[in-house]
Amino acid sequence: MIYAVWVPLLMPFVAVPAARRLADTLSPVRAVRLLASTGVGLALCSLLALSLLVVPGATRFSAVSAFGELVRPLSDAAPAVAVPLAAAALSLLAGCAAAVTRTARRHWAELHRSAQPSEYTGGELAVLRDSRPDAYALPGRPGTPGRIVVTTGMLRALDPAERDALLAHERAHLAGHHHLFIAAAEMAALCHPALRSLRAPMGYALERCADEAAASAVGDRRVAARAIGRAALAARAAEGAAQPRPRVALAAAAGPVPRRVAALLGRGAPRPRVGRAAAAALLACLVVSGAAALDATSDLHSSIEAAQSENPQH
């Protein structure tokens, strides 16, 4: 356990470089699924590792040893090392739990506010009378349909074919429940600092998913690319005067638009080997982290049984 328990805490740092390459070299849908599963899996493994670090130091206290029916502490390290290490791990766990709880409550409150009638009425599509160009997908609560919000300024900035592509893009965000993937990436980032670097590739991959859905819906990749580029330019020109979007909103004008337009137009040489290598590296990080966490858990269980077996009453 002394070595295996540290592997889940270090593995996210190894996974980040592969994650950055994944979104550009793998299909968007596969990239989203792999990034989400890897981020959540690595976060859970790191939390388990922190929990395992708490137990040996805690057995230095008589109340904990009596509760576990132990006749000796589980750790051979000196109390001056084991106890502060356990305290630090426990503090990190408490901080993660508080941050995740606070973020989950905020996310739910934002979804609840977005589901209120307010000015967003009229079914799936809500057109706001506003000269400032803007458009975004506003997800609803579970069981409540989301809405596509677009201003009259954005509608005037695009031609009819481009409007169809823009609406198809936002519709893909709602149909794919993309806000849940963003929430998962945000929660994972709260559990390990290295996983914050997964949020940008996740956001880009989600936008690419919606871009491809828009291109498929209108049947013309150039129209989709033009719609995204013109929408981004129009929104950016009015950025200072535009009203802030809800935090849960997903917008076609977000993220690295030039990269997305280039991908839609097929510019840049495809790199399937790089994508497969990055995917394999991420999966390897997840497998190694999980195996190390299980090995450390098994080792701790064996140590507890050994400490209990030395009790004369057993």
Q: From first to last of its 314 residues, what are the pLDDT tens digits of the chain?
A: 567 889 999 999 999 888 888 877 888 999 999 999 999 999 999 999 999 888 877 776 666 566 656 656 665 556 667 788 889 999 999 999 999 999 989 888 887 776 554 454 557 888 888 888 988 988 877 767 788 989 999 999 999 999 999 999 999 999 999 999 999 999 999 999 999 999 999 999 999 999 999 999 999 999 999 999 999 998 887 665 556 677 778 887 777 899 999 989 987 555 778 888 889 999 999 999 999 999 989 887 777 666 666 544 44
**25 with 279: CB under 8 angstroms?**
no
Name 135's bridge partners. 150
Tokens representing residue 184 in the block: 């998962």
Q: How many residues does the chain have?
A: 314
Helix axes 199-218, 160-175, angle to 10 degrees: 130
Distances (CA, A) of 17 to 9, 13, 96, 203, 256: 16, 8, 24, 16, 18
pTM here is 0.85
User: Which residue, among 110, 101, 170, has the nearest Cα to 134 in the 3D structure?
Assistant: 170
In the three-class reduction of DSSP (H, G, I as helix; E, B as strand; rest coil), residue 125 is classed as: strand
How far apart CA 274 and CA 272 sit, in angstroms, is 5
In the three-class reduction of DSSP (H, G, I as helix; E, B as strand; rest coil), residue 158 is classed as: coil
Distances (CA, A) of 261 to 11, 30, 73, 184: 33, 19, 60, 26
Q: What is the largest CA-CA distance in the chain?
A: 84
